[in-house]
Amino acid sequence: MIIQRVVLNSRPGKNGVPVAENFRLEQSTIPDTVQEGQVRVRTLYLSVDPYMRCRMNEDTGSDYLLPWQLSEAADGGGIGVVEESKHNNFAKGDFVTSFKWPWQTVAVLDGSLLQKLVPQLVDGHLSFFLGPAGLTGLTALLGIKEKGHVSAGANQTMVVSGAAGACGSLAGQIGRLEGCTRVVGIAGTDEKCSILVSEMGFDAAINYKKGNVAEQLRELCPGGVDVYFDNVGGDISDAVINQMNQNSHIILCGQISQYNKDVPYPPPLPPEVEKVQKERNITRERFLVLNYMDKHEASVIQLCQWIREGKLKVGTFTFNPWALITFAAFQSMMNGGNIGKQIVSVSK
């Protein structure tokens, strides 16, 4: 059977910004028949995520991420429909997902890599399982629960960087649902900041590309910052940490501003910021959503309930047609083109 796939064509280098030529769209073939234990799936949606930048390097710098191989299909989160199954758990027509979905139109996968989806949980919006009802939502919810120390009635102020992105836009809303009294976002355009306030329930938002972040933070968080959901690292995080209260908490979710640089993860703080962190006893523990697999099922049910009840706004989903090549979506997401979760729609 003839299929289309996106393969890694070249590596950008550890300190390089990815370019379109790093990927190649090509025709390929897969077997016409499936073997015992296998399932043939047609791809519906693919997820593009910041961690994929690390997979473009020969060495990802991380023990849980494998590098993509040159001339092999890239892979990541995906959703599809079963076309043929020789695995007991799946039948033709089932909707399924996997973290190891190849960037190709049709694939034969080992059934053990797949999980069945229940579309009713998200009122049929299947792509939500790659965003607010999937790893993205889990990252926001479990990050806050495991590392945020949010407590209803404690009058806490939360700041979220990367606030208009997939995790960030949910983190602010969940922080509020869990009990924070003030939520302030930091994002890269005026449009994003306006949506955060008008649609996502943030109290205020700062465009970090305009004006002085530290000054605006001082004004918008007069009682200091108690919880910081950090998606970006770098200068933005340094400014936030400087305004954090004694015994406050950083949820170290990601450091996207550092992903095109050859630095260890998590990147060390500048000495003067580290001094503040230590003196004020601010926790900054690494958070990895995959370390909480035992809590995923119950958390997905919670997220789906909030979405159905309208308590969690899922924002705009950006869909790019497959023909425009999945990389364009990845590059756009890395450069701030998305509001909410960036998804690639491969087929109807």
Contact criterion met (CB below 8 Å) for 102 and 28: no
State which of residues 102, 134, 254, 315 lies at the interface with ligand NDP (CB under 6 A). 254
Contact criterion met (CB below 8 Å) for 102 and 74: yes
- Examine residue 127 and tell whether it contacts ligand NDP (CB under 6 A): no
- Examine residue 338 and tell whether it contacts ligand NDP (CB under 6 A): yes
Q: How far is CA 340 from CA 134, 159, 330, in A?
A: 13, 17, 13
Residues sharing a CB contact under 8 Å with residue 191, sequence separation 6 or more, in sequence order: 339
Interface segment toward ligand NDP; rule CB under 6 A; list 88-96, 122-130, 237-245, 285-293: 285-293
- Examine residue 168 and tell whether it contacts ligand NDP (CB under 6 A): yes
- Examine residue 76 and tell whether it contacts ligand NDP (CB under 6 A): no
Transcribe 246-267 into DSSP letters.
EEEEEEE---GGGTTS---SSP
What minimum distance in Å lies between the beta carbon of 140 and ligand NDP?
Answer: 8
- Examine residue 260 and tell whether it contacts ligand NDP (CB under 6 A): no
Interface segment toward ligand NDP; rule CB under 6 A; list 4-12, 45-53, 91-99, 117-125: 45-53
What minimum distance in Å lies between the beta carbon of 267 and ligand NDP?
Answer: 12
- CA-wise closest residue to 81 among 100, 99, 107: 107
- CA-wise closest residue to 101 among 114, 119, 88: 114
- Examine residue 194 and tell whether it contacts ligand NDP (CB under 6 A): no
Q: How many residues bind ligand NDP (CB under 6 A)?
A: 31
- Examine residue 251 and tell whether it contacts ligand NDP (CB under 6 A): no
C-alpha span between 240 and 132 (Å, rounded): 26
What minimum distance in Å lies between the beta carbon of 41 and ligand NDP?
Answer: 23
- Examine residue 206 and tell whether it contacts ligand NDP (CB under 6 A): no
- CA-wise closest residue to 117 among 94, 101, 140, 138: 94
Per the DSSP assignment, residues forming a β-bridge with 285 are 251
Residue 201 or 336: the one with the smaller Cβ distance to ligand NDP is 336
The residues binding ligand NDP (CB under 6 A) are: 49-51, 136, 139, 162, 164-168, 187-189, 192, 231-232, 236, 253-257, 287-289, 333-334, 336, 338, 342
